[in-house]
Structure 1
Amino acid sequence: MGEKAVPIMTVNHLNKQFGPGCEQCSRPERRILEKNYCRVCDTVYSCQNITFDLFPGEVLGIVGESGSGKSTLMRCLYFDQEVTSGEAYLQPYKEGRKNMFAESTQQKKYIRNHLMGKVYQNPVLGLRMNFSSIGNIAEKMIAAGNRNVAAMESRGSELLERVHIPVSRMKEAPKNFSGGMQQRVQIAKALSNNPPILLLDEVTTGLDLSVQANVLDLIKHLQRELSISMLLVSHDLGVIRMLADRTMVMLDGRVVEQGLTDQILEDPQHAYTQQLVHSLL
Structure 2
Amino acid sequence: MEQARRVEADVDSCDPCLSVSHLSLRFGAGCPSCMAPDAALERNVCPVCGTVHAVRDVSFDVYPGEIVGIVGESGSGKSSLMKCIYFDQDASEGDVRALPFDGGAGNILDLSSQHKRRVRNTVFGMVYQNPYLGLRMDFSSLSNIAEQMIASGERRVDAMCERGYELLGEVNIPARRAKDAPALFSGGMQQRVQIAKALSNNPPILLLDEVTTGLDLSVQASVLDLILRIRRDYGVGMVVVSHDLGVIRMLADRTLVMLDGRVVERGLTDQILEDPQHPYTQQLVYSLI
TM-score (norm: length of structure 2): 0.95
- Indicate conservation of the 8 Å contact 1:59/1:230, yes or no: yes
Partner SS for 2:126:
strand
CA distance in 1, matches of 2:50, 2:141: 42
Partner SS for 2:103:
helix
CA distance in 1, matches of 2:102, 2:245: 35
1:8 partner amino acid = C
CA RMSD of aligned residues (A): 1.0
1:230 partner amino acid = M
Hey, what does 1:150 align to over in structure 2? Answer: 158
1:98 partner amino acid = G
CA distance in 2, matches of 1:269, 1:73: 23
Hey, what does 1:259 align to over in structure 2? Answer: 267
The Cα of 1:39 is off from its aligned counterpart by: 3.0
Q: Choose the corresponding residue for 1:219, options 224, 227, 231.
A: 227
Identity of matched residues, % = 62
Q: Choose the corresponding residue for 2:40, options 5, 24, 32.
A: 32
- Indicate conservation of the 8 Å contact 2:11/2:63, yes or no: no
CA distance in 2, matches of 1:180, 1:87: 34
The Cα of 1:223 is off from its aligned counterpart by: 1.1
CA distance in 2, matches of 1:112, 1:226: 18
In the alignment of these two chains, the number of paired residues is 280
CA distance in 2, matches of 1:254, 1:35: 10
Hey, what does 2:21 align to over in structure 1? Answer: 12
TM-score (norm: length of structure 1): 0.98
1:83 partner amino acid = A
CA distance in 1, matches of 2:11, 2:112: 34
2:115 partner amino acid = Q
Query: Any gaps of 5 or more consecutive residues in structure 1?
Result: none
Counterpart mapping for 1:33-52 below 5 A: 33-52=41-60
The Cα of 1:19 is off from its aligned counterpart by: 1.2
CA distance in 2, matches of 1:35, 1:206: 27
Hey, what does 1:132 align to over in structure 2? Answer: 140
CA distance in 1, matches of 2:42, 2:11: 41
Does residue 1:58 correspond to 2:58, yes or no? no
The Cα of 1:22 is off from its aligned counterpart by: 2.5
Partner SS for 2:230:
helix
- Indicate conservation of the 8 Å contact 1:246/1:258, yes or no: yes
Does residue 1:21 correspond to 2:23, yes or no? no
- Indicate conservation of the 8 Å contact 1:70/1:233, yes or no: yes
The Cα of 1:50 is off from its aligned counterpart by: 0.4
- Indicate conservation of the 8 Å contact 1:268/1:274, yes or no: yes
Counterpart mapping for 1:151-170 below 5 A: 151-170=159-178
- Indicate conservation of the 8 Å contact 1:24/1:30, yes or no: no
CA distance in 1, matches of 2:17, 2:99: 5
CA distance in 2, matches of 1:145, 1:251: 40
Q: Choose the corresponding residue for 1:97, options 102, 105, 118.
A: 105
Partner SS for 2:136:
coil
Q: Choose the corresponding residue for 1:245, options 220, 245, 253.
A: 253
Query: Any gaps of 5 or more consecutive residues in structure 2?
Result: 1-9
Partner SS for 1:250:
strand
Hey, what does 1:194 align to over in structure 2? Answer: 202
Q: Choose the corresponding residue for 2:125, options 92, 108, 117.
A: 117
The Cα of 1:3 is off from its aligned counterpart by: 2.7
Deviations 1:103-152 (A, max 9, x none): 11111111100001000000000000000000000010011011111100
The Cα of 1:194 is off from its aligned counterpart by: 0.1
CA distance in 2, matches of 1:30, 1:258: 20
Partner SS for 1:80:
coil
Partner SS for 1:21:
coil
**Do the aligned partners of residues 12 and 245 (structure 1) sit closer, same or farther apart at CA in structure 2, a change above 3 Å counting?**
same
CA distance in 1, matches of 2:153, 2:28: 37
**Do the aligned partners of residues 269 and 30 (structure 1) sit closer, same or farther apart at CA in structure 2, a change above 3 Å counting?**
closer
